Amino acid sequence: MRRLAARRAVRTKRGVMSTLQLWGQYLPQFLAGLVVSLQLTGAALVLALALGTLLVLARTGRIRVLAAIATGYVEVFRAVPVLVLLFTAYYSLAQMGLRLPGFWAGVVALGAFYGALYGEDMRSGLQSVDPGQREAAVALGLSNGTVMRRVVLPQAFLAFLPPGTNELSNLIKDTSLVLTIGVTDLMFQANAAAAATFQPMDMFLLAGLVYFAFYILLSRILARWELNVQRRRS
Amino acid sequence: MSSDVVVDIQGLTKRFGARTVFEDISLQVRRSEVVAVIGPSGAGKSTFIRCINYLHPFDAGRIRVLGHELVGGGAPPSKATLRQVRMQVGMAFQTFNLFPHLTALGNVMLGPMETKRVPARDARDKAMALLSSVGLADRAEAYPRRLSGGEQQRVAICRALAMDPEVMLFDEPTSMLDPEMVGEVLATIRGLASQGMTLILVTHEMQFAKEVADTVVVMADGRVVEQGPARDVLEHPTSERSRTFLTRVLKPLEAPGVSGEASPPGGSGRGATTALGGDVR
């Protein structure tokens, strides 16, 4: 009995050593993958924020047709799985003659999806501002633009931050889907390393840890930022 | 009418959909006059006062404010007209509506800096002077949520005064306040009246109306049921409708069981539904 336990301990120890060795060996690839994942996140975020802004402008604007299109867009795009959008951007657009490199197909798909979400977040941020705020600003004689810039947007931004940062955390994780169209992101590198070493558990564990570390880092930074913005106003 | 009239309201009518909030209201307000609009909840008092700076568009009638004309129905007034009116007509709200992301000082500075391009230094000096005048110099750097209701309302009054308005509108300025804070806000308003500011206020403070107002307008059921010198209206109302309202408001304890649409002033302001219910049909 005791011998068995000892043997298992030895094996576990050897396992930990070899896992660490493997991780050390593949770390450069993983980091290169992480860089691609981050670039993808950044580019998709820019696209999503731009798209979200356009959507919220269209939805709150006076032109009915644009508002209807924007509403339809949001309804459709947030209802479709990101993977479907990704394959559409990569394969279907290529069939129609628009051949996007994998990275940019990823940016388009993620941007299109998260744009719909950001559009909603921005809209609810704007709606969260008490109508009395607009009234008080208007009653001072401020122009519509000034009311927006000095009174409504600063408050809407505060309401937008929590769901907005939450969306960003999800975006980072969803970038892992681009593995399926051959973009050499973090998940792709993990998959390749798993295939090469026959140690899928070790490799995906490392990928998970890298995502986790980055997620924690980013969410801490965002939370602190949120807190700062809030504290500055109390 | 003499040129002394700063606000001239003729035949003002406001509807929300099929429901008429009030109809055919006329009122002239002279420079330095203090007009108190009273009446049961749901009578349309707040909606009425909000038409004067066009926070609410109206359906018929016209309002001439300091030479600018707002006409009901048809197309809305030009942006330039609206801004002129609003820059000269200050307003304080029932819920204060201070900007929560700005300090008390920032709230008071915003209007002049954004509309009149007043330099920050001058705007700050003026704002500080105004805050000092209402006893809030030491709260200048505080954000609204750190201020009591009474303090918030006084800051809100300063914010409106920073624009150097010719007329001040007060929309139930004390009805959201705890009783012990009502006095400080009323004192501020009383100060404005004594300085000759033209005031139009919707209020449930009958004693205050009697003391400060020159003219009292009683609104009920979407009409002006009585209008005249404050003391006459409050002490010897001639219309039956204002008599029942005033009886209940001035002597709430002596007329407990009287049924009717008016809710006593201290009661929840949301008793509005009963009075409104009568209008809806």
Q: Does B178 touch chain A (CB under 8 A)?
A: no
Nearest-Cα distance to chain A for B89, in Å, is 8
* A141 and A111 share one domain: yes
The per-residue pLDDT for B242 is 86
DSSP sequence for A27-69: HHHHHHHHHHHHHHHHHHHHHHHHHHHHHHHHHHSS-HHHHHH
Number of A:B CB contacts under 8 A?
Answer: 65
Q: Which residues of A touch B55 (CB under 8 A)?
A: 135, 138-139
Q: Residue A127 is part of a domain; what is its CATH number?
A: 1.10.3720.10
The per-residue pLDDT for B250 is 72
The per-residue pLDDT for B272 is 37
Pairing verdict, β B215-220 and B198-202: unpaired
pLDDT, one tens digit per residue, over A183-193 is: 888 898 889 88
Which of A147, A162, A183 is the C-terminal boundary of a domain?
Answer: A183
Task: Tell me which DSSP letter residue B240 carries.
Answer: H
Supply the range of the domain harboring residue A110.
42-183
Quote the pTM value. 0.81
Q: How confident is the model at residue A3 (pLDDT cuts 50, 70, 90)?
A: low
Contacting B residues, span 120-149, partner chain A, CB-CB under 8 Å: 143, 145-146
- Contacts of residue A80, defined as CB under 8 A and 6 or more positions apart, other chains included, come to A113
Block mean pLDDT (10 aa), chain B, length 281: 81 90 93 94 90 94 92 89 94 95 95 93 95 94 93 96 96 91 92 94 90 92 90 87 83 49 43 36 33
Distance, CA of A41 to CA of A120 (rounded, Å): 19
* A188 and A86 share one domain: no
* A68 and A163 share one domain: yes
A107 belongs to a structural domain: yes
pLDDT, one tens digit per residue, over A84-112 is: 999 999 998 888 888 889 899 999 999 99
User: Interface pTM (ipTM) of the complex?
Assistant: 0.83
The per-residue pLDDT for B131 is 96
* A105 and A188 share one domain: no
The per-residue pLDDT for A194 is 87
A21 belongs to a structural domain: no
* A119 and A208 share one domain: no
**Which tokens in the block code for residue B233?**
């209206």
* A132 and A100 share one domain: yes
Counted domains in chain A: 2
A80 belongs to a structural domain: yes
Distance, CA of A195 to CA of A190 (rounded, Å): 9
Helix, strand counts (H, E) of chain B = 10, 10
* A119 and A150 share one domain: yes
A19 belongs to a structural domain: no
**Which tokens in the block code for residue B146?**
């750190």
The per-residue pLDDT for B165 is 96
Q: Which residue has tokens 């940019």?
A: A104
* A75 and A178 share one domain: yes
Distance, CA of A20 to CA of A150 (rounded, Å): 54
Searching chain B, which residue's CA lies closest to the CA of residue A150? B110
Neighbours of A43 (CB within 10 A): 17
φ, ψ (nearest 5 deg) of residue B173: -65, -15
Residue A51 has pLDDT above 50, yes or no: yes
A220 belongs to a structural domain: yes
A10 belongs to a structural domain: no
Searching chain B, which residue's CA lies closest to the CA of residue A229? B101
The per-residue pLDDT for B252 is 54
- Give Cα A165 distance to the centre of its chain: 9
pLDDT, one tens digit per residue, over A59-87 is: 988 899 999 999 999 999 989 999 999 99
Nearest to B97 among A132, A143, A150 (CB): A132
* A177 and A188 share one domain: no
Q: Which residue has tokens 């009963």?
A: B274
CB-CB contact of B226 with B61 (8 Å)? no
* A99 and A114 share one domain: yes
**Which tokens in the block code for residue A175?**
């970038």
Which of A183, A205, A223 is the C-terminal boundary of a domain?
Answer: A183
Q: Enumerate chain A positions whose Cβ falls within 8 A of a Cβ in B.
A: 130, 132-133, 135-143, 146, 150-151, 154-155, 158, 233-234
Nearest-Cα distance to chain B for A135, in Å, is 7
Could you tell me what percent of chain A has a pLDDT over 90? 56
Task: Tell me which DSSP letter residue B77 carries.
Answer: P
Q: How confident is the model at residue A225 (pLDDT cuts 50, 70, 90)?
A: confident
**Helices A2-60, A64-77: inter-axial angle, 10-degree rounding:** 170
A33 belongs to a structural domain: no
Q: Which residue has tokens 């590198």?
A: A189
Q: Does B83 touch chain A (CB under 8 A)?
A: yes
**Helices B179-194, B149-161: inter-axial angle, 10-degree rounding:** 20
Nearest to B93 among A132, A151, A155 (CB): A132
A52 belongs to a structural domain: yes
Q: Which residues of B touch A159 (CB under 8 A)?
A: none
Cα distance from N-terminal residue to C-terminal residue, chain B: 37
* A146 and A115 share one domain: yes
Q: Which residue has tokens 């792709």?
A: A188
Searching chain A, which residue's CA lies closest to the CA of residue B110? A150
What strands lie across the sheet with B68-71, from one edge to the other? B19-30, B5-16, B60-65, B68-71
* A59 and A172 share one domain: yes
